[in-house]
Amino acid sequence: MRESKTRAPIFAGLLASAAFIALSAPGYAEDTFKIGVIAEVQAVAGSSIPQAAQLAADEINAAGGVNGKKIEIVTYDNHSSAAESVRAFQRAVNEDHVNAVIASYISEVVLALEPWAGRLKTVMITPGAASDVITQNIAKDYDNLKYTFHGYLTSTSLADSTCAAAKDLLVGQLHMKSAVVMSEDAAWTTPLDTEYLKCLPNAGLNILDHIRFSPDTTDFTPIFNKIEGEKPDVMITGISHVGVQPTVQWKQQEVPIPMLGISSQATNSSFWNDTNGATEGVLYQAVSGPDVAVTPKTLPFVKAFKAKFGNFPSYCGYTSYDEVYYLADAFKRAGSGDSDKLVTALEATDYVGTIGRIQFKAKGDPNPHALKVGPDTITGLMLQWQDGKQTNLWPAKVANGKLKFPKFIKVGAAN
């Protein structure tokens, strides 16, 4: 008697929760496709990720959705922390029942999430991380890690794009001969530097030194002084966690050597204000720029983003926007939000987005699920900050300006 009294409510509770789980699980009450967005909302670069995703979802929904279903974006702020990202990923899958996740621009974060995408069998695409290890892991354990897609260039591709631009601009136009590689010590720069050391000499730049420094560095004076003593024609950068400080100190100390390379923070339109204009003359690689019509979709996206949020998108805003579109396309072709079908559909992606033509490298490649790069897909750009504007200089067919340096830079004087 006593037992049945206590058991009955527990049993009822179990039944109710089972019914609740059944109802809310994907496949039952699936009237939307849910995309979870885990991003560094407080960082300038990361803040564009959920905004651009929402913009894409609104546009798709306004045009009737996917197979009659709406796209819903659920955003989680990870405070730039891998641990918080893992918790957000678990919550997104287990409680919010998302069909796919767009996550982070930090390689360390994406590498922490990659096994979770496998364990929870949920598709994850990164709009901004670069480490080659993300896709190398997929090659080693395809069956478990196939749920991860790399929606931005790998570090090796970034280095190759930088070298190609350096060859045309620095060696071709300015007849430069030597360089020092200067990168922050982080997961994404290890493959970047390896490729720099290979591709720069091939482009015609002799490497005089290779400096790696802590991302916590605040005083860059010793680094600049050391590099200046070696008299290179150019400094090739690999910086993302730092950006404002080396740029401002470069200008303040009037280091007479130009900087060219990856400088993620320089891709943000707010970089001019953050550095009080010290970024004048800085050259940086990107896959997009506010005034560069990479594809017919680029400028309309920038315009819509600016109208809605008041600022220009960061580099991972472009990729995040594209990702929602080709995820929607994959949902349509897969016919459902089922993860394995979604993986197959994504692998067949052939979509022209804002940064170029999106195609993923196939299983069997050393970097499966990495973006294909090249003249037919994504070439990348080389932009320079000039008078408060991000001006594209390379490749020539989409260039809207010419090389220009502040007075303290002595191009061609060294050596």
User: Where on the chain is the footprint of another protein (CB under 8 A)?
Assistant: 42-44, 47, 80, 185, 211-214, 216-223, 225-226, 229, 242-245, 248-249, 252-254, 265, 268, 270, 273-276, 278, 408
* Cβ distance to another protein smaller for residue 43 or 130: 43
Give me the least distance between CB of 63 and another protein, in Å please: 32
Give me the least distance between CB of 215 and another protein, in Å please: 10
Residue 310, both tokens: 């008041």
* Cβ distance to another protein smaller for residue 139 or 414: 414
Give me the least distance between CB of 148 and another protein, in Å please: 26
* Cβ distance to another protein smaller for residue 231 or 372: 231
Please, what's the largest Cα pairwise distance for the chain? Answer: 97
* Cβ distance to another protein smaller for residue 212 or 341: 212
* Cβ distance to another protein smaller for residue 272 or 301: 272
In Å, how far are 136, 140, 160, 171 from 366, measured between CA atoms?
6, 9, 16, 31
* 389-394/381-386 β-pairing: antiparallel
* Cβ distance to another protein smaller for residue 226 or 363: 226
Let me know: does 256 contact 408? Beta carbons within 8 Å. yes
Give me the least distance between CB of 225 and another protein, in Å please: 5
Give me the least distance between CB of 229 and another protein, in Å please: 7
Locate all alpha helices (DSSP H) within 146-234, ordered by sequence: 155-166, 189-203, 221-229
Give me the least distance between CB of 307 and another protein, in Å please: 21
Torsion sign (Cα): 148, 126, 370, 34: positive
* Cβ distance to another protein smaller for residue 52 or 134: 52
Strand pairing partners for 174? none
**Gyration radius of the chain's alpha carbons:** 23
Let me know: does 142 contact 363? Beta carbons within 8 Å. yes
Let me know: does 231 contact 202? Beta carbons within 8 Å. no
How far is it, in rounded angstroms, from Cα 306 to Cα 373? 28
Give me the least distance between CB of 181 and another protein, in Å please: 14
The amino acid at 152: Y
* Cβ distance to another protein smaller for residue 351 or 405: 405
In 3D space, the residue among 33, 43, 51 whose CA is nearest the CA of residue 319 turns out to be: 51
* Cβ distance to another protein smaller for residue 114 or 184: 184
Q: What angle do CA 101, 25, 128 make, to 5 degrees?
A: 0
Give me the least distance between CB of 251 and another protein, in Å please: 9
Give me the least distance between CB of 266 and another protein, in Å please: 11
Give me the least distance between CB of 105 and another protein, in Å please: 13
How far is it, in rounded angstroms, from Cα 66 to Cα 50? 20
Q: Which long-range contacts (CB under 8 A, 24 or more apart) does 204-207 make?
A: 204/167, 204/171, 204/176, 204/177, 205/166, 205/170, 205/171, 205/176, 205/177, 205/178, 205/179, 205/233, 205/234, 205/236, 206/177, 206/178, 206/179, 207/178, 207/179, 207/180, 207/181
Residues with Cβ < 8 Å from 89, sequence gap 6 or more? 36, 38, 101, 103, 113, 116, 117, 120, 122, 124
* Cβ distance to another protein smaller for residue 243 or 290: 243
